[in-house]
Amino acid sequence: MSALLCLTYDDALPVHRELVAPALAARGLRGTFYAPAAAGDLHQAVDAWRAVAAAGHELGNHTCWHPCRLRPGSAYVPAYQLQDYTHRRIRDELRLANQVLTLVDGQTQRSYAATCHDTTIGPDPGASFFAEMAELFPIVRAGHAQAPSAGPMPFITPAFSADRRSAAEVIAAAEQMRGVADAWLVVLMHGVGEGTHNHHMAAEEHARLIDWLAEQSGWLAGVTLCEAARRRGVQA
Ligand SMILES: [Zn+2]
């Protein structure tokens, strides 16, 4: 039984379908791409995104309009704010996003990555929409992890951020899984390469990471988050 590394990429950027997904597949790796259902590139390049899914990658739910909580003092002001959402509205948006992605990939199950790691709606401090997530998804990625875990995955699974990190830093985290048969680590990033997103991993560092991962196939598998949840099981 292999340790599992889930490479996850947020926000349906052109670089994901143009470079990342083919590079992963060429190395026998599969990734998860969190695509907001209203993302322009998903619609402008739907055939290319369909090819990403057909290559075995996961198209993950990332809402439709990427709502986040407004954080006073933060430079980022989301156009759609979870403070304004009701349980009905978030459920409708998550369901519609699933339906749109099903039109693209034909899949009926996918994981969810919480936008801005937020899992609450309504006026501060907010109410959890755990029940809506539990109804719609086998597993959710939200929050930050600094190290791998082992055994079943929590329904709300944290991720190790690779944005602005070197391959060596991500590999050092992954190496902690060596010899731990039921270990897993979820890695998240946005862009790959300068100019692809404010938050990104340098292209040569990403290439170094996936080359390394492909060489570890004897003990470490690069799989989608949905597949990891299936293999490890999810704690209720
Ligand atoms: Zn996002």
Q: What is the pLDDT of residues 102-116, one digit of tens each?
A: 999 999 999 999 999
Distance between Cα 189 and ligand 1 center (Å)? 9
Residues 6 or more apart whose CB falls under 8 angstroms from that of 208 comprise 167
User: From CA 205, how far away is CA 128, in angstroms rounded?
Assistant: 36
Q: For position 1, what pLDDT does the model report?
A: 65
The answer to whether the Cα torsion of 187, 193, 194, 196 is positive or negative is negative
Distance between Cα 181 and ligand 1 center (Å)? 31
Check pLDDT > 80 for residue 202.
yes
**Which one-letter DSSP state was computed for residue 18?**
I
Distance between Cα 65 and ligand 1 center (Å)? 10
Q: What is each CA distance from 50 to 53, 67, 68, 191, 225, in whole angstroms?
A: 5, 24, 27, 20, 18
Count structural domains, the chain: 1
Check pLDDT > 80 for residue 9.
yes
Nearest to 29 by CA among 48, 52, 12, 45: 52
Distance between Cα 80 and ligand 1 center (Å)? 13
Helix (H, G, I), strand (E, B) or coil at 153: strand
Q: What is the pLDDT of residues 132-170, one digit of tens each?
A: 999 999 999 999 999 999 999 999 999 999 999 999 999
Q: For position 236, what pLDDT does the model report?
A: 78
Q: Which helix (H) or strand (E) holds 202?
A: none
The mean of the pLDDT values for the chain is 97
CA 152 to chain centre: 18
Q: For position 181, what pLDDT does the model report?
A: 85
Average pLDDT of 16-44? 98
More confident residue, 75 or 214: 214
Distance between Cα 180 and ligand 1 center (Å)? 31
Amino acid at the residue 105 = D
Cα-only R_g, the chain:
17
State which residues form the domain around 38.
3-235
Q: What is the pLDDT of residues 181-196, one digit of tens each?
A: 899 999 999 999 999 9
Residue 83 dihedral angles phi and psi, to the nearest 5° = -60, -30
Q: What is each CA distance from 202 to 15, 52, 164, 205, in whole angstroms?
A: 12, 21, 7, 5
Distance between Cα 62 and ligand 1 center (Å)? 7
pTM score, whole prediction? 0.98
Looking up residue 134, the CATH number of its domain turns out to be 3.20.20.370
